[in-house]
Amino acid sequence: MQTPTTLSTTAAGPCAQSTSRRIAYLTGASLWARVVRGEGALIAINMTLVVFAQPPAWIATIQILVSAVLMAALYAINDWRDAEHDRSNPKKNQQLVEDLIELRRPLFAWLCMLQVGIVAIAFALLGSPAALAVAAMIAINFCYSWWLKGVPFIDLVIVCVWGATFTAIVTTSWSLCLAVGLMTGIMHFFQIQEDRDVDAANQVMTTVVGSGRAANGAIAILCAALYFSLLDPLGPVWAASAFIPLLLQRVCTDTATAWMASRIYCGVAVLAVVGLMNEIG
């Protein structure tokens, strides 16, 4: 005959296991949802930089794992923060949104511990520069998710810093980090342009929602800055390709098409820069 304590333990065991499995799933679900939509390219960029830098195999593995797990955790935190608003976003997986809300407290606690663990692993295995970049990413993501996502123009600046800092996990080339950061800002412009109606409905004052036509100047500035960051490795002629996203934004009536074409351009530009620069690593 089972005692009440035994019955309680037996019942709690499967429940705890189920919660743990759901939390594990939610940790990577936000990243996967973005990959399916063609986002999350920063992980591919870090992988490319690692391949070109050719560090020892175990270091390369840790760099890629740290990049991927960190990105998963940051996207999960971002979606955790936005879960209530995402109930009215038709582009979001509503089952995922409800799971994020249902497991709100244990998931947040787990994600906080996971991020601390990633910083510790980066420090122990990759050194202080990589650990500092990871810690900075976490801080930047927190500021963006809690305060700066709805501040016109500042939202683009913080995303540029976000992209540059993520790249700094695997390279010390500041010029390469700058170029990737600017590309990240340009991609984010297309994203908030695509999400304009949903953000407006939720009163999230992004650059596109809060600035009207002035927002077009933001992408022009980002492309001009990207041009100057590409001058040294590519020269003035090829660096002028930095204005391709601006051209696409102006001539394409479909934001999703312009966004995808700009992603392809940025991928080619990164490969060109990495192939020509000798500062990686």
pLDDT band per the 50, 70, 90 thresholds, residue 14: low
> Could you read off the pLDDT of 130-154 as tens digits, one per residue?
999 999 999 999 999 999 888 999 9
Question: The tokens of 57 are what?
Answer: 């195999």
| CA proximity to 186, closest of 165, 210, 207 | 207
| CA proximity to 117, closest of 160, 57, 72 | 72
Between the CA of residue 99 and those of 86, 139, 197, 273, what are the distances in Å? Answer: 12, 25, 24, 41
Neighbours of 107 (CB within 10 A): 22
In the prediction, which pLDDT does 39 show?
A: 83
**Is pLDDT at 9 greater than 70 in this prediction?**
no
Please state the domain extents for the chain: 39-276
Between the CA of residue 103 and those of 22, 87, 90, 164, what are the distances in Å? Answer: 9, 15, 21, 32
| CA proximity to 231, closest of 182, 166, 171 | 182
Place of tokens 């016109």: 152
Q: Average pLDDT over the chain, rounded to whole?
A: 90
pLDDT band per the 50, 70, 90 thresholds, residue 5: very low
> Could you read off the pLDDT of 109-125 as tens digits, one per residue?
999 999 999 999 999 99
Mean pLDDT across 201-227: 89
In the prediction, which pLDDT does 13 show?
A: 55
Residue 43, class by beta-carbon neighbours within 10 Å (0-12 exposed, 13-18 middle, 19+ buried)? middle
Neighbours of 150 (CB within 10 A): 17
Residue 167, class by beta-carbon neighbours within 10 Å (0-12 exposed, 13-18 middle, 19+ buried)? buried
In the prediction, which pLDDT does 18 show?
A: 87
| CB-based contact 80:101 (threshold 8 Å) | no
Between the CA of residue 198 and those of 15, 91, 162, what are the distances in Å? Answer: 36, 9, 23
Give just the sign of the alpha carbon dihedral 67, 68, 69, 75.
positive
> Could you read off the pLDDT of 36-89 as tens digits, one per residue?
888 888 999 999 999 999 999 999 999 999 999 999 999 999 999 999 888 888
In the prediction, which pLDDT does 46 show?
A: 96
Dump the DSSP string for 92-154: S-HHHHHHHHHTHHHHHHHHHHHHHHHHHHHHHHH-HHHHHHHHHHHHHHHHIIIIITTSTTH
Span between the terminal Cα atoms of the chain, in Å: 64
**Is pLDDT at 199 greater than 90 in this prediction?**
no
pTM of the model: 0.89
Mean pLDDT across 170-198: 93
In the prediction, which pLDDT does 17 show?
A: 61
Q: Which CATH number is correct for 39-276, 1.10.760, 1.10.1220, 2.40.30, 1.10.600?
A: 1.10.600
> Could you read off the pLDDT of 239-259 as tens digits, one per residue?
999 999 999 999 998 999 999
Quote the CA–CA distance of 79 and 86 in Å, as a whole number: 8
